[in-house]
Amino acid sequence: MNARMKRLIFVVVFFQLFSCTNETSISTYTVSNGNFTHSMLVEGFVEPVLSTTLTTPRGSNGTVQFLVEEGEQVEEGEVVCIIENNQLANDYDQILIQLENSETGLNKTKADLNMQFALLEAQVRTNEADTKIAQMDSLQLAYVSPSQRAIKELELEKATIQKARYEKKLEALKFIQQTEIRKMELEIQRFKLRVNTMKEQLDGLTIKAPRKGMVVRTINPMTGKKLQIGDQVWSNFPIATLPEYKEMKVKITASEADFKHISMNDSVVYTFDAMPENKGSGKIIKKSPIGQPYKRGATVKFFEIEASIVEVDSMPDPGFTANCLIIMKLVENVISIPQIAVFEDDSIKVVYVQRKKGFESRQVLTDISSPTETVVTAGLEDGDVVALSKPKATRIKVHTALPDSLLQKPETPAIEPVPNNATPEGGARPAPPLPSNNLNTLK
């Protein structure tokens, strides 16, 4: 929280306490010319701009059985996480058994078919021998009786028919054998494909570091905490990240009310709890349009904001907590006073300026404001002392109104806020420093 805001809060608290004990005294505020800053202090944490995310394989799920400790350095190829999936392991064992059975069945089928083929080939060769014998006997047909000749001719015809039948049966057996073996070979190929796929999935459950780096565990969306051993994970679940330290950013989680006031390119000033002397600056570079519930079932939402680290004394490590002073508006060389010092009197804004005796009711014109301060464009000067509570009517001695020329509305705004990321000449400039502690004086 910047010094000026602290002082204003102190003024309000002091005034409330003091007014309860002493109604005759009025707290005052000394006006001075300085810079008006509308800022907001929020908390964020440092994370790398670039990092390597380690995730579970697609289509896999299981339970974290082993996980490297947060912040531990790992070498390339070192095991970072092991995920246990009992169902996948059981299915893999079953498919291995099925593959083994199929290969055994194929070998048995080949042996049976080869035996049948060998027996049939033996029958074919036997038939060929019988045919040759019958043909040799046919040479003696001229010397036998007609009945014996008829018998020999019939035997020769029978052998010829038997030969043709065996040849067809042999061809059919070859086709059946090839078909049966091809069918079993295709089944074995499918089993092997499934085995290889499951093996890859099982191997993928052992997640290794693709390069050297420090392990940063991811947040488990189910618990809202860092991933732990025993947590359930699923397909493409981020397990951990290996950050690159060349460039860092700050991730801010803002409430919906604060989120609405923050704009792209607003300047940010950083301090770090773990490095008290280290300071940095940057600007808002990303605003998430979708809010996330504070916790499951909650109606309160928080929005993620990312801010760059443009300048820093020493680059902080990932995970460091950052106090982020976001500067929404900055106006240089103006008069600004606490909001509680401005009052409504007959539809005009007035302040009560302290005099030697009593107070002067003075009309003022105001411009941009913050929840605690407002800029006065007319009616006050450097060194004026204004009351922080309305004095009693008996103590108001003078009423002063502004000239009509000042009350006419200008065509353009009286005050132009200084852009957070550019000088009046248009050149780039770093984020403004923390507001000074000596902007105003309390009395």
| Tokens found for residue 169 | 């049966």
Check which CATH number belongs to the domain holding 331 and give it. Answer: 2.40.30.170
- Greater confidence (423 vs 116) lies with 116
131 and 236 in a common domain: no
Both 326 and 188 in one domain: the answer is no
Cβ neighbours around 96 below 10 Å, total: 15
Q: Report the DSSP beta bridge partners of residue 387.
A: 28
Which domain-ending residue is among 243, 270, 298? 243
Q: Which residues pair with 378 in a beta bridge?
A: 365
User: In this prediction, what percent of the chain has a pLDDT beyond 70?
Assistant: 77
Examine the domain organization and report whether 437 and 352 are in the same domain.
yes
81, 94: one domain: no
- Whether 114 and 79 share a structural domain: no
In sequence order, the 6+-apart residues with CB closer than 8 A to the CB of 267 are 281, 282, 283, 326, 327, 330, 420, 421, 431, 432
CATH number at residue 166: 1.10.287
Last residue of a domain, one of 152, 185, 204: 204
- pTM, 2 dp: 0.53
Question: What kind and span of H or E run contains 193?
Answer: helix 146-204
**Domain limits for position 302:** 3-47+247-442
The average pLDDT across 260-276 equals: 92
Q: Give per-residue pLDDT as tens, 433-443.
A: 444 333 333 33
Provide Rg for the chain, Cα atoms: 46
Q: 94 with 146, same domain?
A: yes
- Is residue 350 located within the same domain as residue 289? yes
* Claim to verify: residue 130 and residue 28 sit in the same structural domain: no
Q: How many domains does the chain fold into?
A: 3
On whether both 181 and 34 belong to a single domain, the answer is no
Q: Which CATH number goes with the domain that contains 237? A: 2.40.50.100
Considering the domain architecture, whether residues 93 and 211 belong to the same structural domain is answered as: no
Given a cut of 60, is residue 206 above it in pLDDT?
A: yes
Residue 420 in this model has a pLDDT that exceeds 60? no
Q: How many CB atoms lie within 10 A of CB 73?
A: 12
> Do 266 and 352 share a structural domain?
yes
Output 131 or 14, whichever has higher pLDDT. 131
Are 15 and 155 within one domain? no
- Between CA 68 and CA 218 the distance in angstroms is 12
